[in-house]
Chains A and B, each alone.
Chain A
Amino acid sequence: EAQVTQNPRYLITVTGKKLTVTCSQNMNHEYMSWYRQDPGLGLRQIYYSMNVEVTDKGDVPEGYKVSRKEKRNFPLILESPSPNQTSLYFCASSLSLPGQGNIQYFGAGTRLSVL
Chain B
Amino acid sequence: TQLLEQSPQFLSIQEGENLTVYCNSSSVFSSLQWYRQEPGEGPVLLVTVVTGGEVKKLKRLTFQFGDARKDSSLHITAAQTGDTGLYLCAGGHLTGGGNKLTFGTGTQLKVEL
Contact = CB atoms under 8 A, between A and B. Distances in A.
Interface in B35-58: 35, 40-45, 48, 50
Contact of B105 (A40, A96, A104, A106): A40
B26 interface: no
A90 B44 CA distance: 12
Contacts of A22: none
A89 B92 CA distance: 21
Contacts of B35: 104
Contacts of B103: 35, 42-44
Interface string B10-47: 00000000000000000000110101000011111100
Nearest to A4: B42
B8 to A, nearest CB: 13
Contacts of B4: 42
A2 to B, nearest CB: 12
A111 B98 CA distance: 28
Contacts of A109: 40-42
A102 B106 contact: no
A42 B6 CA distance: 10
A100 B31 contact: yes
Among B30, B35, B44, B48, max chain A CB count under 10 A is at: B48
Question: Main SS of the interface on chain A?
Answer: strand
Interface residues of A, number: 27
A96 B33 contact: no
A43 B88 contact: yes
A50 B97 contact: yes
B100 interface: yes
Contacts of B106: 42
Contact of B45 (A35, A41, A104, A107): A104
Interface of B: 1, 4, 6, 9, 30-31, 33, 35, 40-45, 48, 50, 88, 90, 92, 97-101, 103-106
11 contacts: A100-B31, A101-B30, A101-B31, A101-B99, A103-B33, A103-B48, A104-B35, A104-B43, A104-B90, A106-B43, A106-B44
